[in-house]
Amino acid sequence: MRNYRVYVAAMAALGIATTIYAAEPTREELQAQLDELKAKVSQLEQAQQNFVNRQDVDATVKAILQDADQRSKLFAMEGFTAGYTDGKFILQSSDGNFLLHPWLQFQLRNTTSWRIDGKQPTNNDDIQNG
């Protein structure tokens, strides 16, 4: 039984040693990996050149913020006109893109009922208004 354990231990040690030596890559494999990595680095450098740089991003953000600031002024008096034209009051931008034409409508309703000899006991005229 003791010989069996020695034999198993020797086989295990030999298998581990073979695995260690088999795991080391050859020079050609290392060169192939190096060439592959060089190709990937070159590809990443090319992709990075296609991206916009930081100055472009900063300039775009600044332009957007300036435009938003200009458009956020609710009642900016420059470029604004008002007056009476063609019998109508108008408010409009100087470029004519925006126009406000306020108007007022008044409607009076009245109903009057007049009954001749309307009240039965006295036969008086009756007027109802409302």
- What one-character-per-residue DSSP string does 10-64 give? HHHHHHHHHHHHHHSPPHHHHHHHHHHHHHHHHHHHHHHHTSPPHHHHHHHHHHH
User: Is residue 20 a part of any domain in this protein?
Assistant: yes
Predicted confidence (pLDDT) per residue in 93-122, tens digit = 888 788 888 888 899 888 888 887 766 667
Predicted confidence (pLDDT) per residue in 1-20, tens digit = 555 666 666 666 666 655 55
User: Is residue 46 a part of any domain in this protein?
Assistant: yes
pTM greater than 0.75: no
Please tell me the total count of domains within the chain.
Answer: 1
Rounded Cα distance between 45 and 65, Å, is 32
Residue tagged 């900063």 (tokens):
58
**Residue 41: domain span:** 2-51
User: Is residue 16 a part of any domain in this protein?
Assistant: yes
Quote the Cα angle for 22-23-28, to 5°. Answer: 90
